[in-house]
Amino acid sequence: MLNKFRKRAQVGDTLTWFVATLIIVILLIVFVYVASALAGTKKVVKYASSIDFDDEKVELNWIGNKTEFAFEINFENKNFIEAWINEKES
Amino acid sequence: MNKKGQDKMLSMYWFAIIFLVAAAIVYMVVDFYSHPYNVRELETELLANQVADCISRGGKLNTEVFSKGKFNEEFENNFFEVCNLNFDSGPQWNEEIQYYVELDFFDVGDVFNSLFNLKKGNLNLVTSCEIKDEDYEKLAKCFTKRFYVASGDRQFLVELKSVVRKTEKNVK
């Protein structure tokens, strides 16, 4: 009788440890999967497109500013030039 | 099993679990840091900015490009010196150039016929620009921008294209 109880307790113990191990392994697999997914998306696309300057958001457009400067020199055909430039960007 | 044997078994189990966790952590760290940062889109933009800076200074067309009413053909030969650029890609790609820059100057009155065209770098990379699919990560990255420059009374429209490949360093 005592032996039967001891055996049942041993089975219970083994089952507990087995489940615990399974949980640890599953968690590790999830972590490894998440780490590889995050590693695959390390894409640096663009630096800041605007900066906060005196509570004002200033848009940064390095090449676009060249057009603005050129209009300071000669602003003839401004609408046409802007339309031509935007045609590519849209 | 006696108490001593049970303890021994348990510590072996814990060692195995600790080893498993440590191995997983090492694997995660190695995997995470072995993926390179893909900076090519940024690089194409930086390259375009550098070329645009070289052509237009304060909105005015650089005299190395256009002077005395005509485009300077010498600019094509001196492009790298004038624009402070170096397309040497190093031995990793067997000296195959990984960059491409194309410039087209149009008159405001005629935007279909280029007045002056300049192509520098590896022309083979341009074919990648036609494919827009995001799945083709290993193709070269392209950046195209248009802007306007003035030179006295003359007005020019510029179309600038920059391409960077360097796939091996940026994509795994």
- CA nearest to B163, candidates B47, B74, B32, B12: B47
Within 8 A of A39 by CB-CB distance, chain B residues are: 31-35
Residue A5 inside a domain? The answer is yes
Would A80 be classed as within a structural domain?
A: no
Q: Mean pLDDT, chain B, as a whole number?
A: 89
Report yes or no on A49 lying in a domain: no
Residue B138 contacts A where some CB pair is shorter than 8 Å: no
pLDDT-derived band at B105, boundaries 50, 70, 90: very high
B69-97: per-residue pLDDT in tens? Answer: 889 989 999 999 999 999 987 777 777 89
Number of structural domains (chain A) is: 1
* Mean pLDDT, range B130-138, rounded to an integer: 75
The pLDDT value recorded for residue B164 is 94
Residues 6+ apart with CB under 8 A from A50: A57, A58, A59, A60
Instruction: Tell which wins on pLDDT, A47 or B87.
Output: B87
Domain that holds residue A21: 1-43
Indicate whether this model's pTM tops 0.90: no
φ, ψ of residue B103 to 5 degrees: the values are: -125, 135
**Tokens for B127?**
């074919």
Nearest CB partner across the interface for B147, out of A31, A39, A85: A85
Residue of B101, B119, B102, B99 whose CA lies nearest to B165: B99
Distance separating alpha carbons of residues A22 and B39, to the nearest angstrom:
40
User: Does the residue A74 lie in any domain?
Assistant: no
Residue A35 lies in a domain: yes
Establish if B132 touches chain A: CB-CB under 8 angstroms.
no
Q: Is residue A81 situated within a structural domain?
A: no
Please check whether residue A32 lies inside any domain of the structure: yes
What are the tokens at B10?
A: 């348990």
> What pLDDT sits at residue A85?
92
Is a pLDDT exceeding 80 seen at residue A46?
no
In a domain, A14, yes or no: yes
- 3-state SS record for B33-49: HHCCCECHHHHHHHHHH
Q: Which residue of B has its CA nearest to A29?
A: B24
What mean pLDDT comes out for the span B92-121?
Answer: 91
